Amino acid sequence: MGISRHKSDQYTEVATGLTTGAKLLAQYASLWQHNAFLQALAEGALPEAAASHDLAPMIAWQQHYEPRETPYAQADYPFWVARDTPGRKWAQVCSLAAPCVEETPSEALLPWIDWCGGKGHLGRLLRYRPSPDAAPVITLDTQCTLCQAGAKRSAKDRSPGAPPHFFVCGSVFQPPFAEQNCRWIALHACGDLHRHLVHAASQSTTVQTLVLAPCCYHRQQAAVFTPLSETGQRALSETGMTWDREVLRLAQQDSTTASQGEIKRREETLLWRLSYASGQGLPYKPLPSLPASVKSFAAFVDWAATRHSTPVPDSNTAAHWLAEGEKCRARMQALDSQRHRFRRPLEIWLLLDMVQCLIEAGFMVEYWQFCQATNSPRNLALYARRAAVS
């Protein structure tokens, strides 16, 4: 979808999308707003089937608000800038940085803050903008080892005329340079990190531009999700829905870039967890992440029983659990195939909420698919520029 640059048009269009989208997600909540893992373990009938519902309104909403593919042409960079940057990561930073090249002379004087930037792959690329006298790039991260490695790498490809690239190790929630006019950019900032970034930009008078690709929506400290925009808060409240981390996790569930080995390990681990949980019975007792050293169901049962301080079953019992786990997995696959129809609409709604928050704060905002889903399933981004005062 293309977004008009006229502020009032933007406000109406995105606000309508949030309100209508929330109503539709609430209308179909029985099809997707449940925990497929726990539902598969529980006895009784499965939730309603999508076949019994007319999904046309939801499909139409998604098609209307699905962000368009990138409208920005990628710049050419010196070949050495991509050195030591994984191919998929390089494609992502080139795509996200594409709108940053189109800057006015006054914008070029504002530094770019590569927020939560790790080794500075994105920041290093931003140094090679065509604008003369471009301002420095600052990569900010909480992990000093990443900053040190990035600074060492960035020093290797300094070109005459390119602005300096600084690395700052410190709190991303309280950056030391927050009081100066600047531009922020963040690739795949997770959960509370991207929420903080959008909120901070909306409250700031110094952030002139924000480019953001959000990720891992469920990684937030709060148990219940609160929309960032006033419109989103009102729209969700009117539906009576409450979204917890499990709901937000749905927006993250996509394995288009996972290797066959990763997919096999994930499916294997899921079967083991379902099998063990079905043998233990309800209520379900959660388990932490599985160590890579656990490579069989017998080893999994030993590990899980130790974690739960329960007796280790004999081999016959474990085999019975595994058979029951296969049945649970079939139920879960049926549930997940239905829930995943709403994965993209939910992700679009969450992005629209961020877009609307920035529009309400006076920004002009565009949003788009900055890369193909085969490069990253989290391929939505927003580009916000503070509107000029007329």
250 and 214 co-located in one domain: yes
249 and 311 co-located in one domain: no
CA gap 91, 83 in Å, rounded: 13
- pLDDT band at residue 388 under the 50/70/90 scheme: low
Confidence check: pLDDT of 308 > 60? yes
112 and 221 co-located in one domain: yes
Q: To the nearest whole percent, how much of the chain has pLDDT over 70?
A: 91
CA gap 131, 258 in Å, rounded: 38
pLDDT in tens, 262-307: 889 989 999 999 999 999 887 888 899 999 999 999 999 999 999 9
Render 311-349 in DSSP notation, one character per residue: PPPPHHHHHHHHHHHHHHHHHHHHHHHHHGGGHHHHHHH
Q: What's the pLDDT score for residue 171? A: 87
78 and 97 co-located in one domain: yes
Residue 307 lies in a domain: yes
Residue 41 lies in a domain: no
Which comes out higher in pLDDT, residue 124 or 17? 17
pLDDT in tens, 139-151: 999 999 999 999 9
Residue 42 lies in a domain: no
Q: What's the pLDDT score for residue 178? A: 66
Closest CA to 381 of 248, 210, 254, 170: 210
89 neighbors 115 (Cβ within 8 angstroms): no
pTM metric for this prediction: 0.88
The helix/strand/coil state of 8 is helix
Average pLDDT of the residues in 165-183? 83
- Between β-strands 380-386 and 112-115, what pairing exists: parallel, antiparallel or unpaired? unpaired
**Which CATH number do you get for residue 204?**
3.40.50.150
290 and 149 co-located in one domain: no
Q: What's the pLDDT score for residue 6? A: 41
Confidence check: pLDDT of 45 > 60? no
CB atoms within 10 A of CB 212: 27
Total number of domains in the chain: 2
CA gap 204, 54 in Å, rounded: 44
297 and 179 co-located in one domain: no
8 and 87 co-located in one domain: yes
Q: Which residues, in sequence order, are CB contacts of 358 under 8 Å at separation 6+?
A: 198, 201, 202, 210, 365, 382, 384
227 and 319 co-located in one domain: no
CA gap 190, 195 in Å, rounded: 8
- pLDDT band at residue 26 under the 50/70/90 scheme: very high
12 neighbors 20 (Cβ within 8 angstroms): no
Q: What's the pLDDT score for residue 46? A: 61
CA gap 359, 11 in Å, rounded: 7
135 and 220 co-located in one domain: yes
Q: What's the pLDDT score for residue 389? A: 44
**Pure H helices in the chain:** 7-27, 29-32, 36-41, 56-65, 87-97, 105-108, 121-126, 144-154, 192-203, 230-239, 245-250, 260-280, 297-308, 315-339, 343-360
51 and 147 co-located in one domain: yes
Domain range for 308 is 260-340
pLDDT in tens, 93-138: 888 988 887 788 888 889 999 999 999 999 988 888 767 778 899 9
Structure tokens at 4: 């008009």
- pLDDT band at residue 320 under the 50/70/90 scheme: very high
174 and 281 co-located in one domain: no
DSSP 378: -
